[in-house]
Structure 1
Amino acid sequence: MKATRLSIPDVVLFEPDVFSDARGHFFESYNQKAFNEAIGFDHQFVQDNHSRSGHGVLRGLHYQIQHPQGKLVRVVGGCVWDVAVDLRKSSPTFGQWVGAELSDENKQQMWIPPGFAHGFVTLDGVADVLYKTTEFYAPQFERCILWSDPQLAIDWHYRGAPLLSAKDVQGVLLAAAEVFE
C-alpha cells in the first residue's frame, strides 16, 4: 500500500496495491501495521460508518470538539471530493484545507487525524462512503463549520448549489468556531 502525505502532512492518502485479472480484482483495504507505520503512531479504530449520498449532496464540515475523531475515509461506490480542514490552533497549517477525489475506481483512502473538520460532496451519481473512526460518535460535542466559509475558500470541485442538511446550513464561520488548542 502506497502512503502519500498531502500538503497538510498529517493528512495521508493511501493507495492500495490492486491485483486484477479477468475475474475481477483483490486488494487489502486495511492493514493496521502498514497504516500505523505510515502515519507514525498507533491508532485504534472503534467505529465504522457508512454514508450513502445522492449526486450533489454535501456533508460537512463536521468535527467533535471533545473526543475528536480521526477518520480513515474510502468510497466503495461512486465518487466524492473529500476535504479536511486543520482546526489545531497551534498547527502551522491551522485554517488550511486539503482535498482529494475518492472513488470506487481509484480505491484511495484518506486519513484525517483528530483535530480536523471533515466534509465531502458527491460528484457522480450515488456515493457510498465508508469511514473508520478513532472515537465514538458524541453528538453533544459535534460542531459544524460552514462549507462555504469565504476564509477557507474551499474548492469543492462541484458546480451548482449542493444539497445540504439543516445542520450543515447552520454551520458557523471558522472565525466563530470552537477549535483545538
Structure 2
Amino acid sequence: MGNNHSVRMQVMCALFTAVCAVFSQLTIPIQPVPITLGSFAALMAGGFLGKRYGFLSLVIYLLLGMAGVPVFSMMRAGVSVIAGPSGGFIVGFAVMAFIVGLVGEKLGFTFKNMLLGTVLGTAACYTMGLAWFMFLTGNGLWASMLLCMFPFLPGDITKIVLASYLISRYRKRLIGTN
C-alpha cells in the first residue's frame, strides 16, 4: 500500500503542476499584476496533496517557468517573470500550497479548517507578493495594496470558499485518504 500511495501522490503532484500551468493562463491582464486562476490551483494543490506534495508541485511549476517553459500567465516564462512585479506572488503560490496542506494535515480537511488554511495561505502569498512589489517599485504599503491586493480580494474570496468546499468534499475520493 505504501509504495502504491507514493506513486499515486507523485502522479497527482505532476497533475497539479500541469493544472497550475493551465489555470495560470486563465488571466485578466491588468497591470501591474494580472488576475489569474493560478492561485486557485495552488490552493487546491495544497489542500488535495498536503504540505509536502502540494509544495513540491508548485516548486516544479516555478522551476519549469524559470527554465523557459511558458507556464506563467499570458504564456510567459523565464527568471525575468519572477524578478518582475508579479514574482513575489508567483513564488508565494508554493508557500500558499504548503500552508493549506499544513493546516489540513494538522487540523483535518474539513470545510472550516480549509477556510482557515486557504485564508492563511492567501495572506502569506499577499505578504510575499506585496513585499517584493514594494522592493521593486519603491511604493509604500498602501499604494502597493491599492494596486496589487484590493482589486484581487473579491476573486480571492471566491477562490478561498470554492477551494475549501472542493477540498473538504472531494479530497478523500481523489487522494484516497482523509
Structure showing the higher strand proportion among its residues: 1
| TM-score normalized by the length of structure 1 | 0.29
Which protein, 1 or 2, shows the higher relative CO under an 8 Å CA cutoff with sep ≥ 6? 1
Q: Which has the higher helix share?
A: 2
TM-score by length of 2: 0.30
